[in-house]
Structure 1
Amino acid sequence: MSQTVDYIVVGAGSAGCVLANRLSEDGRHSVCLLEAGPPDRYPWIHIPIGYGKTMFHKQVNWGFYTDPDPNMLNRRIYWPRGRTLGGSSAINGLIYVRGQREDYDHWAALGNPGWGWDDCLPYFRKLEHNDLGAGPTRGTGGPLNATSIDRRHPLVDAFVAAGQALGLPRQTDFNSGDQEGVGYYQLTTRNGWRCSTAVAYLRPARRRANLRVETDAHTTGILFEGKRAVGVRYTQHGQPYILRARREVILCAGALQSPQLLQLSGIGPAPLLQELGVPVVHALPGVGENLQDHLQIRLIYEVAKPITTNDQLRTLTGKARMGLEWLLLRKGPLAIGINQGAMFCRALPHESATPDTQFHFSTLSADMAGGMVHPFSGCTYSVCQLRPASRGTVHIRSTDPFEPPSMQPNYLSAELDRRCTIAAVRYARRVAQTEPMRALMRREFRPGDDVRSDDEILHFCREYGATIFHPSGTAKMGPAADPLAVVDARLRVHGIGGLRVVDCSVMPTLVSGNTNVPVVMMAERAADLIREDARRETHHADVAAPMAAAA
């Protein structure tokens, strides 16, 4: 196989699969997609409720842990990340959410032209096939499905009605740019199956002669000639390889491993690299800084009626009924996943102009996401602050590319985050105590009625809070004048030619919601930027050639 291609894409996740498809679709350029994990053949990847089976799977999940976080009682927080074709889109909770108009307008205001809501909306519409039909903000015919939950559940209906009683509007579409409201989520499913980017984008492109996909291929470093990226080193089945790029190397390894790879390759904070003996190719102090994540706080209630998914999973009959419903009809709990109820609200109504808190309401309960369900009828009110002010870091520990980096989220280190999270817990309790929800709640299992004061609630959040799987921001997009910016508005690494980053790491600030769909949008737009730059370079080369010959 050729060891030189036009484009190398590192990471076959939410962004990488999109770029592999789009950059190879006209047949003009050769593309190699490198994925450290195995093919996506594990059956539970493709069954929506299989989220619980992949949460701790050692082959398809990196299974990272943060450093002990002093703000979280020095706990190490489990951070699952996808390690297979489709990346985290192959193991995530399936939620189809874009974020708020203001998120993207804020990116543009920070010095990133072309990333405002109106600029991004055509790409959001392009990527989706929405079963609500086409509209001013919705698209149809795109690769990624936005599927409405067509089966109502009495608990979720009560949750929605309680939200309306508290003054929230009923929503069927949370993706118009204005999220505030309550309703059922849309999911990235198709006919009862998970619709990862490997399914939506990569599978249709696999037969192209100009696209090569390498699995079990762990990229260990970027190759440079001066200040230009010209290829990568990777290891596959214990053997080292070198792959060269005629045009570009594009990192899509995610908010943890893209900065890790940049730092291992000599791009990052000079003091850190020098301390570890990494030759500095280009000093960029922002690489690995600006880490943001949504902190999930899970309130668990015992339900007064046996109508929860806990009840179905506790008996062989219940499991068999669920399995048969999916096998025969592609419907039921296995086709929906875990979280159904959506709410975007303002826990700090006098401070927040737009929703500052997101609910994921689930008809089951467990000690942690993906864990064993409780031996009682249970439901979960998961709340998270949408725009945290706390910032963390991702730093390599050594020059070993197989050693996970140091990950320090610094959850709840900002005073705003502590106030908003306490307020979100109190809001969840209001929902639970509002009819018709109140009649279905037998007791608050966690945190429990004895946790009442702000200090007690904050301690509960520190003791039980966990990621909701949205680490972002560690290769920040911004102008060169921004000391923490890593890439420009065209996602090119500052000071380095032939190298881009396209994944959650480039978000300057975290979007107000789940991150999968925003990353797909970013990759769709990045593909256009890359092709525009390629055409411009080709044009310049065509103009320069006869001039050089004449000289």
Structure 2
Amino acid sequence: MRRQFLTVGLFIAVGTLVEAVVETYDYIVVGSGPGGAPLAVNLARAGYSVALLEAGIDLGDNKNYSEIFNFNAAANDEKSRWDFFVKHSDDEAREAKYEKSTWRTADGSFYVGLDPPEGSTRLGIYYPRAATLGGCAMHNGGICTLPNDADWDYIAEITGDDGWLASNMRKYFEKMEANEYLPLDTPGHGYDGYVNTTISDPSLMNQNSDLQKLASRLISRVGGNAGRDINAPDPDRDQATGVFGMATHADRNGKRAGTNTLLKRTLADPAKFNLTVQLETLVTRIIINWEAGEPSATGVEVLRGSHQYEADPLYDTAKQGKFGRIFARKEVIVAGGSFNSPQILKLSGIGPAKELEKFHIPVVKDLAGVGENLGDNYEAGLQSLASKPLNGSAGPVAVFLKTPTARKTRNIQAWCGSFSFEGFWPGFPTDYGPTEYECAVVHINPRSQAGHVRLRSNDPREMPEINFNFFAKGGDEDLTEILDAVKTFRKALNSAGAPITPFDERHPCPGVNQNCTDKAQKEFIKLQTYSHHATSTCAIGPADDPKAVLDSKFRVHGVGNLRVVDASAFPKVPGAFPVCPTFMLAEKASADILAAAEIAE
């Protein structure tokens, strides 16, 4: 094992495990994803000493990660993968029908499917996360879409904090963005931030190609254009539908931008900010002090070394890391993500008392909402094979829909193009060749957030038990909305005509004629829904809400000097893609923390 540091722009590999040179900082930030990285940088640039702790290694110079179009390779790379396996329900018969179920075979390899070799053990539904400097922003598809304004306004409504209003949150987007696809000074956008944003080349529409024709058929049916600004601050943006340019957090050369690039830039800055990045450092528990009569966070306990967490494919129970403690003068800020942040809180005695007592963890604060309220976007897709290889060269186009529903806001975001995306399993995706075409559907604001993240033991290296409990509430309404979107895309694509059509649909209605019943299609979608936007397990809300874990300033209810700043803080799933909203979350948290620090001083 080895310990790694990043300090003042230098990468240092230490041959033997030793205690950190600096063990006390003003702030400790746990996790380097889109919540933790900007926050740590902002605090350091404000003059505070900051320790940023990351369980993984730095892969920012690896092209699988630095080049956005290699995201499938990044998500499959065991150098960064944390392999979580989840459930979608408590119904074992339903779980057994998930076509991409993952099993561990007798020889230790993975099997994916419904007919495993004898002696295999079912692991569940694969849900990879990224343990690397920069977090999941280093292996995602990079889609940067802001949620409906109503999602921000909802947080303001339940907390009484007008700082969450969409009109105020826009300034954090402007601060973080470095827009590369609009004229300078376009209202509502930023040009000097650390998250470069670009869109798929709208010149697609000038081609004489199959992909151009399919995009044209989409536009004819739903409106819009391939260059339209998907993040425009329009007053009616919650109702705006049709085709848009698909924005990603990458520069015009396809280089991934955001967490890792921001950290490297800050560490290399001649100003030499007091930011210390400790890699291969797994946080196991928050240190709690009771001297003032109330619990208060004063530091963290860690295991230092490589591959310390069970989700790591290279994990070895025999290789125990070196124990250490790191202390904070001001605050501990957890940004470990929607699975690991609640696990860390629970291991520290903050969570549902009965669950903690079951594992002999002393209760610091009985907070019933820790690890509950788990939500995610439902994802499905119309996957088809054209009658001929599809010509043309372009990235996918984005589409917003408002399907027939009582909802006041748009409820579907999709992206359509010549690709295959059917969820996650070891080795995904399946390449169906040059005839493949898909509209991948993301359902916005699911009616049910009934999932949970619960401990299996008090061992900090063991993965928690994760169950999303999909469709537990309002399931038929949500399935109807998803199917309505599928029907819209099916009609648009089938109107392209020969020689592209007829399409041989793979799902949700296999074959050329697509004469399946609504019931059959909804059943397929329900059983095969996938997801990768977990949120809300440490939700913001008022103290009298049993599901609330944080106040509007990200402070853990009833525990001093402790905050959570990541996607787990959202009380509801924000829009269709949480990565850029989480960057904004980090910027708001930075402002809140620095304001509090100024008052205290």
Map of 1:541 onto structure 2: none
Q: Does residue 173 of structure 2 align to residue 124 of structure 1?
A: yes
Letter in 2 for 1:445: R
- Checking the alignment, whether the CA contact within 8 Å between 1:107 and 1:116 is kept in structure 2 is yes
Choose from 233, 249, 255 the match for 1:188. Answer: 249
Kindly tell me: are residues 459 and 350 of structure 1, through their superposed partners in 2, closer, same or farther at Cα, counting changes over 3 Å? closer
What's the CA shift for 1:437?
Answer: 9.8
Q: Does residue 148 of structure 2 align to residue 107 of structure 1?
A: no
Map of 1:230 onto structure 2: 298
Choose from 217, 227, 230 the match for 1:162. Answer: 217
Kindly tell me: are residues 459 and 15 of structure 1, through their superposed partners in 2, closer, same or farther at Cα, counting changes over 3 Å? same
Map of 1:329 onto structure 2: none
Distance 2:499 2:128 in 1: 34
SS in 1 for 2:265: helix
State the TM-score, normalized to the length of structure 1: 0.87
> What is the aligned-residue identity percentage?
30
What's the CA shift for 1:455?
Answer: 2.0
- 1:273-303 Cα offsets, whole Å, 9 max, x none, are 1111111000110111111101211221112
Kindly tell me: are residues 373 and 286 of structure 1, through their superposed partners in 2, closer, same or farther at Cα, counting changes over 3 Å? same
Kindly tell me: are residues 445 and 36 of structure 1, through their superposed partners in 2, closer, same or farther at Cα, counting changes over 3 Å? same
Letter in 1 for 2:197: A
RMSD: 2.1
What's the CA shift for 1:159?
Answer: 4.2
74-83 or 214-223: bigger deviation: 74-83
State the TM-score, normalized to the length of structure 2: 0.80
Choose from 576, 582, 585 the match for 1:522. Answer: 585
Kindly tell me: are residues 185 and 55 of structure 1, through their superposed partners in 2, closer, same or farther at Cα, counting changes over 3 Å? same
Q: Does residue 534 of structure 2 align to residue 479 of structure 1?
A: no
- Checking the alignment, whether the CA contact within 8 Å between 1:13 and 1:197 is kept in structure 2 is no
Map of 2:56 onto structure 1: 37
- 1:60-108 Cα offsets, whole Å, 9 max, x none, are 1212110363465344322121210111110000111111111111221
- Checking the alignment, whether the CA contact within 8 Å between 2:222 and 2:243 is kept in structure 1 is no
- 1:392-447 Cα offsets, whole Å, 9 max, x none, are 11111111111111111111222332322332332332232234799455321223
Letter in 1 for 2:506: F
- 1:176-228 Cα offsets, whole Å, 9 max, x none, are 25142213201111142333423442111114351100111111110000210
Q: Does residue 488 of structure 2 align to residue 427 of structure 1?
A: yes
Map of 2:146 onto structure 1: 98
Map of 2:95 onto structure 1: 73
- Checking the alignment, whether the CA contact within 8 Å between 1:146 and 1:189 is kept in structure 2 is yes
What's the CA shift for 1:142?
Answer: 1.1
SS in 1 for 2:355: helix
- 1:150-176 Cα offsets, whole Å, 9 max, x none, are 264445533442333224333611112
What's the CA shift for 1:42?
Answer: 3.1
SS in 2 for 1:23: helix
What's the CA shift for 1:470?
Answer: 0.7
Map of 1:505 onto structure 2: 568
Letter in 2 for 1:138: H
Choose from 39, 43, 62 the match for 1:19. Answer: 39
SS in 2 for 1:62: strand
Kindly tell me: are residues 462 and 70 of structure 1, through their superposed partners in 2, closer, same or farther at Cα, counting changes over 3 Å? farther
Distance 1:145 1:10 in 2: 24
Map of 1:320 onto structure 2: none
What's the CA shift for 1:451?
Answer: 6.2
219-228 or 159-168: bigger deviation: 159-168
Kindly tell me: are residues 366 and 524 of structure 1, through their superposed partners in 2, closer, same or farther at Cα, counting changes over 3 Å? closer
Map of 1:457 onto structure 2: 521
Q: Does residue 144 of structure 2 align to residue 144 of structure 1?
A: no
Distance 1:112 1:471 in 2: 25
Letter in 1 for 2:158: L
Choose from 42, 57, 69 the match for 2:77. Answer: 57
- Checking the alignment, whether the CA contact within 8 Å between 1:96 and 1:146 is kept in structure 2 is yes
Kindly tell me: are residues 236 and 155 of structure 1, through their superposed partners in 2, closer, same or farther at Cα, counting changes over 3 Å? farther
Kindly tell me: are residues 389 and 371 of structure 1, through their superposed partners in 2, closer, same or farther at Cα, counting changes over 3 Å? same
What's the CA shift for 1:52?
Answer: 1.2
What's the CA shift for 1:513?
Answer: 1.7
Runs of 4+ in 1 over 4 A off after TM superposition: 151-156, 366-369, 436-441
SS in 2 for 1:402: coil
Distance 1:82 1:401 in 2: 18
Map of 1:397 onto structure 2: 456
Map of 1:533 onto structure 2: 596
Map of 2:466 onto structure 1: 407
- Checking the alignment, whether the CA contact within 8 Å between 1:431 and 1:437 is kept in structure 2 is no
Kindly tell me: are residues 147 and 161 of structure 1, through their superposed partners in 2, closer, same or farther at Cα, counting changes over 3 Å? same
54-63 or 432-441: bigger deviation: 432-441
By percentage of residues, which structure has more helix? Answer: 1
- Checking the alignment, whether the CA contact within 8 Å between 1:96 and 1:186 is kept in structure 2 is yes
Kindly tell me: are residues 498 and 513 of structure 1, through their superposed partners in 2, closer, same or farther at Cα, counting changes over 3 Å? same
Map of 1:549 onto structure 2: none
- Checking the alignment, whether the CA contact within 8 Å between 1:23 and 1:29 is kept in structure 2 is yes
Kindly tell me: are residues 296 and 233 of structure 1, through their superposed partners in 2, closer, same or farther at Cα, counting changes over 3 Å? same
Map of 2:384 onto structure 1: 301
Distance 1:17 1:155 in 2: 41
Counterparts of 1:220-259 in structure 2 under 5 Å?
220-226=284-290, 227-237=295-305, 238-259=321-342
Kindly tell me: are residues 293 and 112 of structure 1, through their superposed partners in 2, closer, same or farther at Cα, counting changes over 3 Å? farther
Map of 2:409 onto structure 1: 354
230-239 or 416-425: bigger deviation: 416-425
- Checking the alignment, whether the CA contact within 8 Å between 1:222 and 1:265 is kept in structure 2 is yes
- Checking the alignment, whether the CA contact within 8 Å between 2:442 and 2:576 is kept in structure 1 is no
Choose from 415, 429, 449 the match for 1:371. Answer: 429
Distance 1:405 1:435 in 2: 47
Q: Does residue 263 of structure 2 align to residue 202 of structure 1?
A: yes
Kindly tell me: are residues 466 and 280 of structure 1, through their superposed partners in 2, closer, same or farther at Cα, counting changes over 3 Å? same
Distance 1:196 1:260 in 2: 28
Runs of at least 5 residues in structure 2 that lack an aligned partner in the other structure = 1-20, 99-123, 306-320
- Checking the alignment, whether the CA contact within 8 Å between 1:168 and 1:180 is kept in structure 2 is yes
SS in 2 for 1:77: strand
What's the CA shift for 1:112?
Answer: 4.7
Kindly tell me: are residues 426 and 501 of structure 1, through their superposed partners in 2, closer, same or farther at Cα, counting changes over 3 Å? same
Letter in 2 for 1:136: P
What's the CA shift for 1:29?
Answer: 1.0
SS in 2 for 1:80: strand
- Checking the alignment, whether the CA contact within 8 Å between 1:156 and 1:361 is kept in structure 2 is no
Distance 1:46 1:82 in 2: 14
Distance 2:468 2:498 in 1: 34
Map of 2:117 onto structure 1: none
184-193 or 124-133: bigger deviation: 184-193
SS in 2 for 1:5: strand
- Checking the alignment, whether the CA contact within 8 Å between 1:432 and 1:441 is kept in structure 2 is no
Letter in 2 for 1:277: H
What's the CA shift for 1:43?
Answer: 2.6
- 1:132-156 Cα offsets, whole Å, 9 max, x none, are 1332211211111111222644455
Kindly tell me: are residues 259 and 156 of structure 1, through their superposed partners in 2, closer, same or farther at Cα, counting changes over 3 Å? farther
